[in-house]
Amino acid sequence: MPAVFSPISLDLKDEYLARYAACPQKTSDYSFANLYGWSEEYGLEWAFGETQVWLRQTKPEVVHWAPVGPWTGVDWSKCPSLAEGVRVTRVPSDLAAIWQETLGGRVTLVPAREHFDYIYAVADLIELRGNKWHKKKNLLAQFTKTYAHEYSVLCPEVIEEALALQTQWSQWRDSESTDTLASENRAIFRVMQAWDELPGLFGGAIRVDGKMVAYTVAEVLDATSVVIHFEKGMPGYKGVYQAINQMFLANQAAGYIYVNREQDLGDEYLRKAKMSYNPAFLLEKFTAVVAPGQHT
């Protein structure tokens, strides 16, 4: 029986989160806030099977994403959703290894470098010790010495203020002239406007002379990791990005081991910026082409 897909919505979030909690490797793509925020931009849909949630995007074309749930203890060789043959993107490395072992010659894996998650040690980005982070530490010091600043928690009471900053930033970057930035802007509004309904969401903000100049929106992935979904700073404040990055982690995420700063989507500027923070490792993902097989 084919999977029945429906648009991602808030009403099934608890069921999804239960499957996500059982997932042995948590990447940024599959966090609920990410799926919900980008659901309209990608036309994201889900279908709930016995053990897995199957995901697909429908814009600009139908593309299947990896299933979310407990990947071990599943007889993938008899999985109906793979039986007819399928191409699956954003397959995390652990699932790719399981499929390679259980499906054998039926699966072909190609690294999807643009979807690799950048994972950093939280302690490294708080302390910024050593030559590797010398430039970042200097920029942070310039910001803290130059501006009368105040860090605070991002909470429902200040969401409108953060959205006003986002609108300003979007106008400065002329986001509407760029599809990617326009999509991100809509995703940010979607997430922030549903703040109270998205469990695990938290963030921080920096004000200079009482005016919000930077914010970050993050989500808890598991007991050891957080993911930063959105981070924006206003132009004209040198070191503002280094400041919001370091202050958020120091004030609100020091108890976690890793911070996931998502992927670069093949953007050369983003890749250079993310590499400049010296990731502890890259969490690999693959495109898997599964050939048709038997199922019962």
Which CATH number goes with the domain that contains 229?
3.40.630.30
Provide the 8-state DSSP code for 186: H
In a domain, 124, yes or no: yes
Q: Are residues 109 and 206 in the same domain?
A: no
Placement of tokens 């200097």 in the chain: 138
Check residue 214 and give its pLDDT.
Answer: 98
Cβ atoms within 10 Å, residue 140: 21
Q: Are residues 130 and 258 in the same domain?
A: yes
In a domain, 146, yes or no: yes
Q: Are residues 144 and 110 in the same domain?
A: no
In a domain, 268, yes or no: no
| 32: pLDDT strictly greater than 50 | yes
Which tokens hold the place of 13? Answer: 């979030």
Q: Are residues 124 and 219 in the same domain?
A: yes
Contacts of 125 (CB under 8 A, 6+ apart): 245, 246, 249, 259, 277
Q: Are residues 195 and 109 in the same domain?
A: no
* Rounded Cα–Cα distance for residues 15 and 53 (Å): 9
In a domain, 171, yes or no: yes
pLDDT, average across residues 129-134 = 96
Q: Are residues 128 and 99 in the same domain?
A: no
Placement of tokens 């930077």 in the chain: 214
Check residue 296 and give its pLDDT.
Answer: 44
Check residue 180 and give its pLDDT.
Answer: 85
Q: Are residues 171 and 245 in the same domain?
A: yes
In a domain, 275, yes or no: no
CA torsion sign for 251, 225, 160, 184 is positive
Q: For 82-131, what is each residue's pLDDT tens digit?
A: 999 999 999 999 999 999 999 999 999 999 999 999 999 999 999 999 99
In a domain, 273, yes or no: no
Q: For 147-201, what is each residue's pLDDT tens digit?
A: 999 999 999 999 999 999 999 999 998 867 778 889 999 999 999 999 999 999 9
Q: Are residues 138 and 190 in the same domain?
A: yes
The domain of 18 spans 6-116+284-290
Q: Are residues 64 and 129 in the same domain?
A: no
Placement of tokens 């699956």 in the chain: 88
Which tokens hold the place of 205? Answer: 């903000």
Check residue 294 and give its pLDDT.
Answer: 62
* Rounded Cα–Cα distance for residues 82 and 92 (Å): 17
Cβ 189 vs Cβ 37: under 8 Å = no
Give the 3-state secondary structure percentages of the chain, helix then strand then coil, rounded to 5.
45, 25, 30
Check residue 119 and give its pLDDT.
Answer: 98
Whether omega before 60 lies within 30 degrees of 0, making that bond cis, reads yes
How many structural domains compose the chain? 2
Sequential DSSP letters for 250-285: HHHSTT-SEEE----TT-HHHHHHHHTT--SEEE-E
Q: Are residues 132 and 222 in the same domain?
A: yes
Q: For 58-91, what is each residue's pLDDT tens digit?
A: 999 999 999 999 999 999 999 999 999 999 999 9
Check residue 100 and give its pLDDT.
Answer: 97
Cβ 178 vs Cβ 163: under 8 Å = no
In a domain, 270, yes or no: no
Q: Are residues 133 and 257 in the same domain?
A: yes
Q: For 258-286, what is each residue's pLDDT tens digit?
A: 999 999 999 999 999 999 999 999 999 99
In a domain, 272, yes or no: no
pLDDT band at 145 (very low <50, low <70, confident <90, very high): very high
Q: Are residues 76 and 133 in the same domain?
A: no
Check residue 1 and give its pLDDT.
Answer: 57
